């Protein structure tokens, strides 16, 4: 809508024609220009300001009052005539109605002309607005630069403007302002204009900040007064320069000298500019009377600064302050190798000088020329054409080749590094020492990561033969390159701190780590999503490199998992170092506190690569063994897995392999089994302690959030979404119902496992509903956060006042009221609603009580923070609260939601329910088979360790019968469920209705029976939380109601059988 409106104040609008001037080399503070002296603080540290909101006309844009005054002079009217007419008509006058969107221009013209005539000063409204619109006003360059500086510090910005629709499409240049804003709040859109406090409240809500954390700038006093009453800090703008000087005082950092990708150098990061100026002048002969110093935001290791002077633009790179880990931050070596390689034609900035004198700015540093250009932080290269993406990655590949082809006997690198064939061994030792050293340096404030402990042992034992020796960068990735401003060509390779002599494969593989990275707070990756067109696959990139270097591609690929494991191990160690420096107050990065979680995630990816390497090695050994064996007439061997390998599981899945799995699905299954055994089950006691702790039980379990990140890193995320719902694999793992059924069984072996993989009910069913039936805006607002694991959801159908086993009984009403629906009713057993992360409910109610029986019901999206929703109580299940997600009784009292929230349309609730419940029942039943398998395993363990009446329990006849019966019943239920999943995949959910009903009858009762036998074998302890059986029993009993009670399924199945019999007779 911005393209069809002018951002215009009550005075008038100015079309923006941005004519920005360079201020890079001006004094670094408006305060300095105005003779005001003050100490600068970071916003978060001292000021608590999280947002700055701007009026447009008269603040960001020049005031249009000159055009209005000129119009008045032509007519011979006194100054301020127009404003007095507007003020005299008040909030009900035509001008304010125009601003609130209550009048179109066509409606406005005669009304405003009548008002002006009544005031004694007739005006031509169309001529007045035309004169205003034809008058071109520039945005204030100083104000735009201030906004850039504010955003660089992580502070949000907003425009709050009184405007009107003109619909002539002339305001496209306005994007130079709006693109700098996190939100634009327009009176014509909101239906409320300044000085109404509601418009400021809207801005704060959109920015997700409190008014007390917000500064507002306007040139009209009454607007500021209204904002101030809300708690905002307000600044009156009469002239830009003094206003910005005041804003600097409030924020505590300079608002000039902006350079893209930088922020203010403040606090501990501030340089001694007098000493630096003397060094530049005396040593490098660089005049720096005017100097603009800013710190680059990107990069987490050695602090890097932009230095703008009248002599040119430069970059300063220094060591961090304080005590450093041994061998880290060797900027001297960076300078040495960059200087040498540039002479060989490697794309690098020109180095100017190295200063090792700590007295200048506190640590050693070096200077180089600033290379203007582009840095691509996101490897997906969003917004670029496939051709551009291809060229960017090809140039990156060329840069890698040029570096590795430069040789090792370079002028000026004497003592730089030792030539060795033991590169990986030395590197593993170095990063092991850094990892261990980081932990020791924090004196108990951080713990070692389990996967890092494993890798420290695994990596030295699996080092491949070195390919060759070359200069290696050590941190070669896309965001460490500067590309030409307009051409897709690398102009400079940055960040040489880790450079050395070694195996170039370490650089090649490191450049490919982005293919394995999922989104995290520190760095972007391509994760497991489809690659954007033009971005090469990892192996395509490797093959191009090998072709240019003349290397054996197959030999390189055979060791690729080791190279990947090493790269992530090293990166995890680096992150541990950054986190340690943060704990010690030495971090260059302002978000160093997030690095421990990232280090854990990276270590998990490295561990996965190591596991793949082991599996591939075993597979190769098995293949060699098979080739040496005499061939049978069948041409294959009956070995179920490579010889010498061990299944990493604590319990079997007997019978689960009858339905074959694809190689990919089988690998995912093994990874899921391993993750549950090593990561989830060991935490069961902790999870149980949390859910029974009354002070914490309704809060998320912190350890679960760590598990989720690990599962994401391993690619074990959103496995549930069936292929027929997501055929392009846009949202899920692209597995069939049959493939995912196998995984569900494994997840059922621990009650907490599904959430770790983002595969928990009711979220899975709700996500499938949104995938199948949601509008694009639903998917953006609700599906994506659910898929990311950022929020949880609930499903509201069952009601306390009616027999909800017959869903036609439900009485909750969903009534249309204009552009909204109003919901009234009471629901219970709303699973997940107690979780504080539950943000959205899918509710089933009736939109038309007079329609056909199965056309009365509809489903609608209800945000859980909507007024009128009241959670009455959590419901216990056999004494369990099932915290933290719980089962709630909820009252919906005049709950109003937009009509667009209806799913698929009115009267289609049953259609959605059937689509939702089919896969969900497969999931439930296979998890119950997992419940039973876990219980049988525990029973076998118990009866072989316990003795009664002089002999082991296992020797008792009744126990043996229980074990035998359990095995038969589990396998029967499994085969029946897998058959249902197979039929759903091959002939569809509707055709599999009979099989789905059968498994829902069989599986819960089977699980209940097997778990009961296990509890009996354990004696009294089997009824306590010390073992999982009590909760597994509760869940199994619940599943005899959930998604339809046993009786309904038996009735349905019986009718189907009779119908089939009748068809045979005829």
Whole-angstrom Cα distance, residue 79 to residue 1025?
82
For 755-806, what is each residue's pLDDT tens digit? 999 998 889 889 989 988 888 899 889 999 999 888 999 999 989 888 877 7
- What's 1-63+138-255's CATH class? alpha beta
Tokens read off for 89: 């008509």
In the predicted structure, residue 860 carries a pLDDT above the cut 80 = yes
CATH 3.90.1200.10 maps onto the chain at: 386-615
Name the nearest CA neighbour of 488 among 322, 591, 615, 347: 347
Higher-scoring residue by pLDDT: 684, 734: 684
User: What pLDDT is recorded for position 299?
Assistant: 55
Whole-angstrom Cα distance, residue 28 to residue 256?
6
Among the four given CATH numbers 3.90.1200.10, 3.40.50.850, 3.30.360.10, 3.40.50.300, the one describing domain 386-615: 3.90.1200.10
Q: Could you say which architecture CATH assigns to the domain 914-1065? A: Up-down Bundle (1.20)
Core vs surface per residue 5-39: b (16+ CB within 10 A) or e: bbbbbbbbbbbbeeeeeebbbbebbbbbeeeeeee
65-134: in CATH 1.10.150.240: yes
Whole-angstrom Cα distance, residue 653 to residue 188?
63
For 391-403, what is each residue's pLDDT tens digit? 999 999 999 999 9
CATH 1.10.150.240 maps onto the chain at: 65-134
For 401-429, what is each residue's pLDDT tens digit? 999 999 988 888 877 777 878 899 999 99
For 911-936, what is each residue's pLDDT tens digit? 888 766 556 777 888 888 999 999 99
Whole-angstrom Cα distance, residue 148 to residue 154?
10
Whole-angstrom Cα distance, residue 1049 to residue 1041?
10
For 1052-1061, what is each residue's pLDDT tens digit? 888 888 887 7
Among 252-256, 286-290, 433-437, 613-617, where is mean pLDDT lowest?
613-617
DSSP 1010-1061: HHHHHHHHHGGGGGSTTSSHHHHHHHHHHTTTTTS-HHHHHHHHHHHHHHHH
Query: What fold does the segment set 663-911 form as a domain?
Result: Butyryl-CoA Dehydrogenase, subunit A; domain 2 (2.40.110)
CATH 1.20.140.10 maps onto the chain at: 914-1065
Whole-angstrom Cα distance, residue 222 to residue 211?
17
For 325-363, what is each residue's pLDDT tens digit? 666 677 888 899 999 999 999 999 999 999 999 999 999
Query: Looking at the domain that runs over 262-369, which CATH code has it been given?
Result: 3.30.200.20
CATH 2.40.110.10 maps onto the chain at: 663-911
Name the one residue in this structure whose structure tokens are 């500064």: 215
In the predicted structure, residue 750 carries a pLDDT above the cut 70 = yes
For 24-33, what is each residue's pLDDT tens digit? 344 333 333 3
């Amino acid at each position: 809508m911005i393209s069809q409106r002018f951002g215009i104040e009550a005075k008038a609008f100015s079309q923006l024609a941005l004519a920005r001037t360079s201020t890079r080399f001006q004094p670094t503070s408006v305060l300095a220009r105005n003779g005001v002296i003050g100490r600068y603080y970071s916003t978060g540290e001292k000021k608590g300001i999280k947002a700055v909101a701007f009026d447009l006309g008269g603040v960001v844009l020049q005031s249009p009052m000159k055009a209005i005054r000129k119009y008045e002079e032509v007519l011979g009217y006194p100054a301020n005539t127009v404003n007095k007419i507007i003020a005299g008509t008040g909030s009900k006058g035509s001008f304010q109605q125009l601003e609130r969107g209550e009048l179109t221009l066509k409606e406005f013209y005669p009304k405003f002309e009548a008002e002006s005539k009544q005031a004694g000063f007739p005006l031509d409204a169309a001529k007045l607005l035309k004169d205003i619109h034809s008058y071109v006003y520039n945005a204030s360059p100083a104000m735009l630069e201030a906004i850039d500086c504010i955003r660089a510090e992580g502070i949000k910005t907003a425009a709050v403007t009184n405007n009107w629709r003109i619909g002539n499409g002339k305001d496209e240049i306005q994007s130079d302002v709006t693109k700098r804003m996190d939100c634009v709040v327009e009176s014509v859109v909101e239906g409320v204009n300044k000085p109404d406090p509601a418009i400021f409240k809207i801005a704060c809500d959109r920015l997700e900040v409190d008014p007390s954390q917000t500064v507002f700038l306007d040139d009209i006093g009454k607007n500021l007064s209204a904002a101030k009453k809300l708690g905002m800090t307000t600044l009156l703008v009469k002239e830009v320069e003094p206003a910005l000087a005041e804003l600097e005082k409030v924020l505590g950092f300079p608002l000039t000298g902006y350079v893209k990708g930088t922020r203010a150098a403040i606090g501990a990061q501030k340089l001694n500019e007098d000493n630096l100026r003397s060094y530049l002048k005396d040593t490098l002969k660089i005049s720096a009377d005017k100097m603009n110093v800013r710190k680059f935001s990107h990069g987490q290791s050695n602090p890097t600064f932009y230095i703008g002077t009248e002599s040119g633009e430069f970059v300063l790179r220094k060591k961090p302050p304080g005590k450093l880990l041994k061998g880290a931050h060797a900027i001297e070596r960076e300078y040495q190798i960059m200087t040498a390689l540039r002479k060989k034609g490697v794309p690098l900035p020109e180095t100017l000088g190295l200063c090792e004198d700590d007295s200048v700015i506190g640590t050693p540093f070096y200077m180089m020329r600033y290379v203007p250009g582009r840095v691509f932080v996101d490897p997906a290269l969003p917004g670029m054409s496939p051709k551009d993406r291809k060229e960017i990655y090809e140039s990156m590949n060329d840069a890698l080749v040029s570096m590795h082809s430069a040789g090792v006997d370079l002028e000026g690198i004497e003592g730089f590094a030792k030539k060795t064939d033991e590169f990986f061994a030395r590197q593993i030792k170095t990063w092991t020492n850094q990892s261990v050293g980081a932990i020791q340096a924090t004196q108990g404030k951080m713990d070692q990561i389990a996967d890092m402990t494993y890798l420290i042992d695994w990596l030295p034992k699996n080092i491949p033969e070195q390919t060759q020796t070359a200069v290696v960068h050590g941190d070669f990735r896309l965001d460490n390159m500067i590309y030409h401003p307009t051409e897709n060509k690398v102009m400079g390779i940055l960040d040489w701190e880790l450079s050395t002599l070694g195996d170039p494969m370490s650089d090649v593989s490191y450049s490919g780590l982005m293919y394995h990275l999922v989104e995290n707070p520190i760095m972007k990756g391509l994760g497991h999503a489809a690659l954007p067109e033009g971005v090469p696959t990892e192996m395509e990139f490797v093959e191009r490199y090998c072709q240019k270097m003349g290397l054996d591609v197959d030999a390189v690929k055979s060791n690729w998992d080791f190279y990947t494991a090493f790269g992530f191990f090293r990166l995890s160690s680096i992150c541990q170092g950054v986190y340690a420096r943060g704990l010690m107050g030495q971090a260059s990065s302002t978000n160093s506190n997030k690095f421990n979680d990232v280090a854990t995630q990276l270590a998990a990816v490295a561990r996965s690569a190591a596991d793949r390497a082991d599996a591939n090695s075993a597979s190769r050994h098995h293949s060699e063994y098979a080739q040496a064996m005499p061939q049978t007439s069948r041409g294959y061997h009956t070995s179920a897995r490579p010889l010498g390998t061990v299944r990493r599981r604590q319990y079997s899945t007997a019978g689960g392999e009858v339905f074959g799995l694809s190689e990919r699905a089988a690998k995912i299954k093994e990874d899921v089994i391993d993750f549950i055994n090593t990561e989830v089950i060991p935490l069961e006691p902790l999870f149980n302690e949390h859910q029974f702790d009354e002070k914490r039980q309704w809060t998320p379990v912190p350890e679960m959030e760590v598990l989720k990140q690990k599962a994401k890193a391993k690619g074990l995320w959103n496995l549930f979404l069936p292929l027929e719902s997501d055929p392009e694999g846009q949202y899920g793992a692209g597995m069939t119902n049959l493939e995912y059924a196998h995984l569900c069984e494994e997840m059922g072996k621990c009650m907490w496992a599904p959430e770790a993989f983002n595969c928990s009910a009711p979220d899975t069913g709700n996500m499938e509903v949104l995938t199948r039936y949601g509008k694009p805006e639903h998917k953006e607002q609700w599906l994506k956060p659910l898929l990311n694991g950022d929020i949880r959801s609930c499903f509201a159908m069952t009601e306390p006042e009616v027999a909800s086993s017959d869903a036609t009984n439900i009485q909750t009403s969903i009534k249309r009221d204009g552009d909204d629906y109003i919901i009234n009713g009471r629901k219970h057993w709303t699973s997940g609603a107690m979780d504080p992360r539950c943000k959205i409910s899918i509710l089933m109610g009736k939109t038309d009580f007079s329609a056909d029986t199965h056309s009365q019901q509809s489903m609608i999206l209800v945000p859980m923070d909507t007024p009128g929703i009241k959670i009455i109580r959590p419901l216990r299940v056999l004494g369990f609260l099932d915290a933290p997600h719980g089962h709630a009784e909820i009252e919906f009292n005049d709950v109003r939601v937009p009509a667009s929230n209806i799913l698929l349309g009115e009267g289609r609730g049953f259609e959605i329910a059937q689509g939702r419940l089919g896969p969900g029942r497969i999931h439930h039943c296979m998890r119950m088979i997992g419940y039973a398998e876990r219980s049988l395993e525990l029973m076998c363990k118990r009866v072989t360790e316990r003795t009664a009446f002089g002999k082991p329990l296992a020797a008792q006849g009744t126990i043996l019968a229980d074990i035998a019966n359990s095995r038969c019943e589990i396998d029967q239920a499994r085969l029946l469920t897998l058959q249902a999943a197979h039929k759903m995949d091959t002939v569809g959910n509707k055709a599999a209705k009979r099989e789905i009903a059968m498994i829902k009858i069989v599986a819960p009762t089977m699980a209940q029976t097997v778990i009961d036998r296990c509890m009996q074998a354990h004696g009294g302890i089997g009824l306590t939380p010390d073992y999982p059986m009590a909760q597994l029993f509760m869940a199994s009993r619940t599943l005899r109601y959930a998604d339809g009670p046993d009786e309904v399924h038996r009735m349905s199945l019986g009718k189907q059988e009779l119908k089939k019999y009748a068809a045979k007779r005829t």
